[in-house]
C-alpha cells in the first residue's frame, strides 16, 4: 500500500457506504450524514454550516479520527480494486456515477453492497470489487461485483474520482469542506468519531 494511503487508513470513515442500521436502542437514532463547511473548531467540537443551510454543533468522540481525500482518475481504477460509487439511474438503463472513491486494499470489503444514499434524490452507494474497467472514446464505465451480483456504472467526464489521504486538525479551518457520518441522539445531540475534510483544493465528493 502506498505510504500516504497507509497513513490515511487509520483515520478512514469506516461507515462510508454502509447501510444505515437502526440505532434507536440506547437513545441513538440512525446515522446522520453531514455535508457542509467548517464554521468553528475547538479541538473537541465542530460547528458546521450544512449544505441545507443549517448550522449544527458536532461533539467529537474521544480518539476521533480525521482524513482527507486526494484526487485520482478513472485510469487508476483496476480490476480487483474495491470502490465506493454513488450513482443515479440513467435514462437509458444502468447507472451514471456521481462520484467514485477508491478504497485502499486494507479496507477491501467494507460495507459491500448497494444501498440508498442521500447525495442526491434517488441516489445509491455501491461498495464493490471492480470486475472490469473500460475507458474508450465513447465513454467510461466499470462493472462491479458484490454478493454474487454485478452492476455496470458509467463514469461521465468530470465525475469526481478520489482516494483517501492524511489530514490533521489544522485542516479544520473555517470554510473547509467536510463530510461526516455522525450519530444523533434522541435528545438532539450530535456526535462523530470521524471527519473527512477537503484539502489542497480537493473536497469530499461523497
Structural domains in the chain (count): 2
Do 65 and 78 have their domain in common? no
Which of 202, 31, 7 shows the shortest CA–CA distance to 111? 31
Given this model, what pLDDT does residue 177 score? Answer: 98
Given this model, what pLDDT does residue 94 score? Answer: 87
Given this model, what pLDDT does residue 157 score? Answer: 92
Q: Which DSSP helix (H) or strand (E) runs through 150? A: strand 149-154
CATH code of the domain covering residue 37: 2.40.50.140
Kindly list the distances between the CA atom of residue 104 and the CA atoms of 14, 68, 137, 165, 192, in Å, as whole numbers in the listed order. Answer: 12, 13, 28, 10, 22
* Distance of alpha carbon 96 from alpha carbon 155, whole angstroms: 6
| Contact partners, residue 136, CB within 8 Å, separation at least 6 | none
Q: What is the DSSP letter of 109?
A: T
Do 155 and 175 have their domain in common? no
Residue 43 within a domain: yes
pLDDT > 80? residue 59 = yes
Give residue 158's domain range.
70-162
pLDDT in tens, 64-108: 999 999 999 999 999 999 999 999 999 888 899 999 999 999 889
Do 84 and 34 have their domain in common? no
Do 55 and 65 have their domain in common? yes
pTM: 0.84
Amino acid at each position: 500500500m502506498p505510504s500516504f494511503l497507509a497513513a490515511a487508513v487509520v483515520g478512514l470513515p469506516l461507515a462510508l457506504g454502509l447501510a444505515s442500521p437502526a440505532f434507536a436502542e440506547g437513545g441513538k437514532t440512525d446515522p446522520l450524514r453531514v455535508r457542509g463547511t467548517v464554521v468553528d473548531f475547538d479541538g473537541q467540537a465542530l460547528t458546521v454550516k450544512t449544505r441545507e443551510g443549517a448550522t449544527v454543533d458536532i461533539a467529537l468522540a474521544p480518539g476521533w479520527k480525521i482524513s482527507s481525500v486526494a484526487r485520482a482518475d478513472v485510469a487508476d481504477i483496476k480490476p480487483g480494486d474495491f470502490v465506493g460509487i454513488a450513482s443515479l439511474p440513467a435514462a437509458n438503463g444502468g447507472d451514471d456515477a456521481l462520484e467514485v472513491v477508491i478504497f485502499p486494499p486494507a479496507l477491501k470489503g467494507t460495507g459491500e453492497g448497494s444501498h440508498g444514499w442521500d447525495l442526491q434524490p434517488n441516489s445509491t452507494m455501491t461498495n464493490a470489487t471492480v470486475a472490469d474497467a473500460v475507458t474508450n472514446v465513447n465513454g467510461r464505465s466499470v462493472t462491479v461485483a458484490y454478493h454474487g451480483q454485478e452492476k455496470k456504472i458509467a463514469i461521465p467526464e468530470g465525475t469526481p474520482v478520489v482516494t483517501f489521504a492524511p489530514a490533521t486538525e489544522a485542516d479544520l479551518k473555517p470554510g473547509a469542506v467536510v463530510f461526516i457520518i455522525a450519530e444523533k441522539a434522541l435528545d438532539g445531540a450530535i456526535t462523530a468519531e470521524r471527519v473527512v475534510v477537503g484539502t489542497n483544493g480537493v473536497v469530499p465528493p461523497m
